Structure 1
Amino acid sequence: MAAAKRVVTVVGATGAQGGSVVDHLLKKKSQDYTIRAVTRSPDSAAAKALAACGIQVVQADLTDTAALRAAFAGSYAVFAVTNFWGLFKDAQKEISADQNVSLAADKAVALETEMGINMANAALATDTLQHYFWSTLTDAYTVTGGKSQPPHYDSKARVTRYIKSKPELLAKTTFVWCAYYATNLGWDFIKPVYFPAIGQYIQIQATPSDQPIACIGNTRSNFGAFVEAALVQPEKIRGGQTVFAFVERSTLGGLLKIWAEAHDVRATYVQIPRDTFFSTWPAIALEFTLGMELWQLVRDKEWTGEDSFLTYTDLGIDITALKSVKDSFAELEL
């Protein structure tokens, strides 16, 4: 009798990171695993497409602890992720014009923290669990000595600290950091704008062009390779090890140059005062830029702030087989 396949449960399976994990497991290890997709909307077209591929699709809201425990039950591995930006946008809709916009960030932080801890507790309650992946970011406040605390970093760091306080779960955990998305250049306040009078694109930002950055490229295409590679090396990767998922290091100006080459256009990076930038764009631009300023603050150190972390080299990933940053930019509309 054939051995039962190990169940790998993927939260956010219809999103960029979770969807990429599912894609890579299907392509490389589907014969070894039963993939279980956790989604809020099992009746969506994306969820139905997963079911058509033979994937188990289960419904669970990340605020529903009972549903999460049921979704994780029997899992060998769980990939857990949250979406701060979706929570932030939803919170903004609830904030009236006369209220401080920082309340939206506070609400998103509180909810994302709750969701992350809910998943950690569900993982703790899963007696079959051997490997837990938590998609997080660096502890900005600690790394910068209290100089920076972007909300979308802080909420994830709170969950990371919670996991580290649970030795039983920490022993099974791999922390995964996903670097700068290529699709960020499609956001309104980041996207280069064409000026016919000078025949080129201008990208206006509040951070300097020489700021170092690491980029994952196309998240949906590339991110899952890091989780899949870690999954088959549990003894090397668990125990609170950190995987930094990126395919190329550059600068913000360097990324714009790659973007311009991908589209065969001319482009110039222009830095303006942060107050001017924030007076022009909505609150989400402020929140995103706080994260960019973190990279600037720690430019002479590792953004991660960790003594050690694992990259594609350590995991044995051939990044030439992944989508390059240039090819990822080429997919974006001008």
Structure 2
Amino acid sequence: MGAKKLVTVVGATGAQGGSVVDYLLKNRSQEFTIRAVTRSTESAAAKALATRGVEVVRADLTDTAALKAAFAGSYAIFAVTNFWGLFSDAQKQFPDEKDVALLAGQAAAIETQMGINMVDAALATDTLQHYIWSTLTDAYTVSGGRIKPPHYESKAQVTRYIQSKPEMLAKTTFVWCAYYATNFAGLTRPIYVPATGQYIQIQATPSDQPIACIGNTRSNFGIFVEAALAQPDKTRGGQTVFAFVESTTLGGLLQTWAEAHNVKATYIQVSRETLFSSWPMEVQEFTVGMEFWDMIRDKEWTGKDSLLTYSDLGIDVLTLKSVKDSFAELEL
């Protein structure tokens, strides 16, 4: 066997990157060595990676020079950004600002630059053969300019940048991660109403809106990246991998959650004005993305894109953690 190939994972202490590391260590340790890029090599999560045999290096995504050093020698790179962390940072920086679009726009601009920085660093990596960019669909283009969710547009601008670089596009796989089950523990958490003896979930889009779900991101996402790395001829050249385990509706998703916890739950649709008047800024920004899904409907995430799903990649979805089992892990 020849020398192992180096796979560099950005966001290795997060849900997506952590899942990629898990799968590569479990199934590809004889083929790949793993380097984790983190903002702090002294964090508990980073130290835990090191004990598993992962090389841990420090680089800030705003520093292209540091990224070039972190990417050096890589055969493959998994790249991801965290809009919601940046959005939270913007709120802390401007605690009195009530304009969600303004704060989201600031976070989006930083996220886009981070994504471009990683692409530029990857372009300078002469050993690179495969670049996997975790992105979302180009909502603005797919919707014909009708809607432009900042946390979609920020990633779409990076995708367009990659597409403008033929030598980079040839090495790139785009991966879309579907709806996280953990949203039910945060942004869309059902609320218990004692007087009714059941939970309610309040959203601004209808219950019959189609939705695809990855389930437990940490448990399921990494296998899609592993499969993409194992089949470069199928996945490079700007192909898109859609990482999901089940498709349903928003109402169906809520009922699956209710079944997982043996409780009753009702989906309640309200106007966006009502929702925005009483819910945190994160929910407001998240809702703009949900409105895009509702607008597209039958096309769902796809638009004109040709997507590779678990069946195309030879993944036995029955071996993955189901959405119901993923919900069962969440606290009520």
Classify the TM-score, shorter chain: over 0.9
Using the TM superposition, give the Cα deviation of residue 157 of structure 1 relative to its aligned residue in structure 2, in angstroms: 0.1
Please state if 1:277 is matched with 2:250.
no
Using the TM superposition, give the Cα deviation of residue 118 of structure 1 relative to its aligned residue in structure 2, in angstroms: 0.2
Alpha-carbon distance in 2 for matches of 1:151, 1:163 = 19
**Which residues of 2 match residues 7-86 of structure 1 at below 5 A?**
7-86=6-85
Q: Which amino acid aligns with 2:170?
A: A
Q: Which amino acid aligns with 1:310?
A: L
Match of 2:294 among 293, 296, 311: 296
Using the TM superposition, give the Cα deviation of residue 195 of structure 1 relative to its aligned residue in structure 2, in angstroms: 1.3
Q: Which amino acid aligns with 2:139?
A: A
Q: Which amino acid aligns with 1:249?
A: S
Structure 1 runs, 4 residues or longer, greater than 6 Å off = none
1:198 corresponds in structure 2 to: 196
Residues matched between the structures, number? 332
- Quote the RMSD (CA, aligned, Å): 1.0
**Which residues of 2 match residues 24-173 of structure 1 at below 5 A?**
24-97=23-96, 100-173=99-172
2:323 corresponds in structure 1 to: 325
Measured against aligned partners, the alpha-carbon deviations of 1:212-239 in whole angstroms (never above 9, x if no partner) come to 0000000000000000011010011100
2:230 corresponds in structure 1 to: 232
Using the TM superposition, give the Cα deviation of residue 269 of structure 1 relative to its aligned residue in structure 2, in angstroms: 0.5
Unaligned runs of 5+ in 2: none
Alignment partner of 2:126: what SS? Answer: coil
Using the TM superposition, give the Cα deviation of residue 245 of structure 1 relative to its aligned residue in structure 2, in angstroms: 0.4
Alpha-carbon distance in 1 for matches of 2:99, 2:184 = 27
Using the TM superposition, give the Cα deviation of residue 262 of structure 1 relative to its aligned residue in structure 2, in angstroms: 0.3
Alpha-carbon distance in 2 for matches of 1:49, 1:246 = 28
Contact kept in structure 2, 1:92 and 1:101, CA below 8 Å: no
Contact kept in structure 2, 1:20 and 1:222, CA below 8 Å: yes
Alpha-carbon distance in 2 for matches of 1:307, 1:73 = 32
Contact kept in structure 2, 1:63 and 1:115, CA below 8 Å: yes
Measured against aligned partners, the alpha-carbon deviations of 1:161-188 in whole angstroms (never above 9, x if no partner) come to 000000000000000000000000111x
Unaligned runs of 5+ in 1: none
TM-score by length of 1: 0.98
2:210 corresponds in structure 1 to: 212
Using the TM superposition, give the Cα deviation of residue 98 of structure 1 relative to its aligned residue in structure 2, in angstroms: 5.2
Alpha-carbon distance in 1 for matches of 2:309, 2:281 = 33
Q: Percent identity?
A: 75
Contact kept in structure 1, 2:37 and 2:59, CA below 8 Å: yes
Contact kept in structure 1, 2:211 and 2:300, CA below 8 Å: no
Measured against aligned partners, the alpha-carbon deviations of 1:55-102 in whole angstroms (never above 9, x if no partner) come to 100000000111100000000000000000000010011124256332
Using the TM superposition, give the Cα deviation of residue 194 of structure 1 relative to its aligned residue in structure 2, in angstroms: 1.0
- Going from structure 1 to structure 2, the CA distance change for 1:320 and 1:288 (only over 3 Å counts) comes to same
